[in-house]
Chains A and B, each alone.
Chain A
Amino acid sequence: MNLADGVQIVSFGVLALMMLGAALGVVLLENIVYSAFLLGGVFISIAGLYILLNAGFVAAAQVLIYVGAVNVLILFGIMLVNKRQNFVPLRNAWVGKITTAAVCLGLFALLGTMVLATPWAISTAPVAGDTSTVVIGMHFFSDFLLPFELASVLLLMALIGAIVLARREFLPDALEREETQQPVLTLPERPRELASAAPGSPDRTLGTSPTQRNV
């Protein structure tokens, strides 16, 4: 075993541990914000595994899209809903739990049989490596041209749909009136008396802050 093999095995071990730990954290942690940040850790570990498999472009796309965009979107989604309330225990919760367990076990069995059925022989074909991006580009403009152009139409549809939904142009009147009545705490124009009345705010300690005492 030479140095490159050792580095590969150690990197794989570190990445696998990172990914498993972060994935368990995503599922088990109570705080949803921590779960979202750990999901970013899972995505980064997957990008590292792609690099180990000599798929540099896929790794870059993984970091750019999943870590940079999808995870940020998930975090923003969490930041938009801040209903901190005690959840009422669901009646007949065991039905949902049994269904979840059945689906997860079925998925596990499916993946297990796939792992056992796959011949894990190492291919002797030369690895594309750095030229793989060029190969992908060539495919984009020859036999995958139509999907490539359709992707732009799909992105256009997603953009317009997102803007229409976020602008709430087609909201019913009753719903809109109901929403404008309750004061919503937002960052730029946050009313001070509302904010300081919020429970758990550290306002009591403000009077003794060092800056004020020095003045």
Chain B
Amino acid sequence: MFVLNGYEYFLGFLLICSLVPVLAFVTARLVRPHPEGVERRITYESGMEPIGGAWIQFNIRYYMFALVFVIFDVETVFLYPWAVAFNQLGLLAFVEALIFIAILVVGLVYAWRKGALEWS
């Protein structure tokens, strides 16, 4: 049994969305001039001249932010059913969710104190 309730708009949206880049590239190909030369091969970097290659080692701090993000992403997934079923659940569930958040706030405070959220 298949319902697809409420996903009709999503499907239509997806189809229209996938048309946007195709149309943009086709229009650009029709309209743009066709210059030859080495400048065409340069990586576009917001109008700046690119320095060095793009395949460089990135800073490990990006990884720290990604790790912290993953933790709170998973927390969001756990809290979403609670938010949806909030009216059916009682005060006890509210307290339990608060305990859940409090344990993770300890982690946030630890990350903050250790400077994991700062760039320098």
On A, residues with C-beta under 8 Å from B are: 4-5, 7-8, 11, 51-52, 54, 57, 60-61, 64-65, 68-70, 72-73, 76-77, 79-82, 84, 122, 127, 129-130, 133-134, 136-138, 140-141, 145, 148-149, 151-153, 155-156, 158-160, 162-163, 166-167, 184-188, 190, 192, 195-196, 198, 200-203, 205-206, 208-212
Among A166, A190, A203, point to the contact of B56 (Cβ < 8 A): A190
Q: How far is the CB of A60 from chain B (nearest CB, A)?
A: 8
Contact indicator B107/A210 (Cβ below 8 Å): no
Contact residues in B for A155 (Cβ distance below 8 Å): 71, 74-75, 104, 107
Interface of B is mostly: helix
Contact indicator B5/A65 (Cβ below 8 Å): no
Give the number of chain B interface residues (Cβ < 8 Å): 65
Interface of A is mostly: helix
On B, residues with C-beta under 8 Å from A are: 1-7, 11, 37-39, 41-43, 47, 49-53, 55-60, 62-64, 66-71, 73-78, 80-86, 88-89, 92-93, 96-97, 99-101, 103-104, 106-107, 110-111, 114, 116
Give bound CA distance, A51 to B2, whole Å.
10
Contact residues in A for B50 (Cβ distance below 8 Å): 202
Q: How far is the CB of B41 from chain A (nearest CB, A)?
A: 7
Contact residues in A for B60 (Cβ distance below 8 Å): 80, 166
